[in-house]
Amino acid sequence: AEMGSTLFTIAKDVKIQVEFNPAKVAAYRLIGYENRLLNKEDFNDDKKDAGELGAGHTVTALYEIIPAGVKSEFIKDVDKLKYQKLSTTSKSESDEWMTVKLRYKKPNEDTSKLLTETLKGKPVTVAKSSDNFRFSAAVAEFGMLLRDSKFKQNSSYDSVLKLAQAAKGDDTEGYRAEFIPLVEKASLLDGADS
């Protein structure tokens, strides 16, 4: 099932850069990928090596956000920057949440191309999100439990199971069905240690 995606590279040195609208998002963090982070100046550097995408590959990146105006223990009070450039356009009236930039090279080229997309709209509840999003969120929550992340807060194996079971969706390869017993086993092992 995965042979084609590893044999045929469709893009090399793939880099993704996300910029959140500060009028909508007070703070954010990328879940996972800690070992793949690039410095911001590396995004435009065609000499900087990055990942490859094969035919049929998909990449999912989840961000945990704290909306603007929401108080959180994870947002520390910081003095305003004296030399911060002020925007002349009002971001607060915009329905833009973020801009995503994707830079990649064709397999036989050494100069990258840039794609830019802006995400607009209104937020939806987890219950109204897609099966793919909910299942990805269940996997991310499971990862935070396994790593005993300081960000896990009220996460539990039970909530991972409920989210994953309700979001199995179109599981033609059976990978999502395999995930559920894995979570159940981890829950039992974790309970045995407590």
pLDDT tens-digit readout, 70-126: 888 777 777 777 787 655 555 556 889 999 999 999 999 999 999 999 999 888 899
Give the pLDDT band of residue 194 (cuts 50, 70, 90). very low
DSSP H helical segments within the chain, as ranges? Answer: 3-7, 131-146, 157-166, 175-193
Is the separation of the CB atoms in 59 and 30 below 8 Å?
Answer: no
Is this structure's pTM higher than 0.85?
no
**Encoded tokens for 118:** 């802006």
**Residue 173 CB-half CA count within 13 A:** 5
Distance between the two ends of the chain, CA-based, in angstroms? Answer: 39
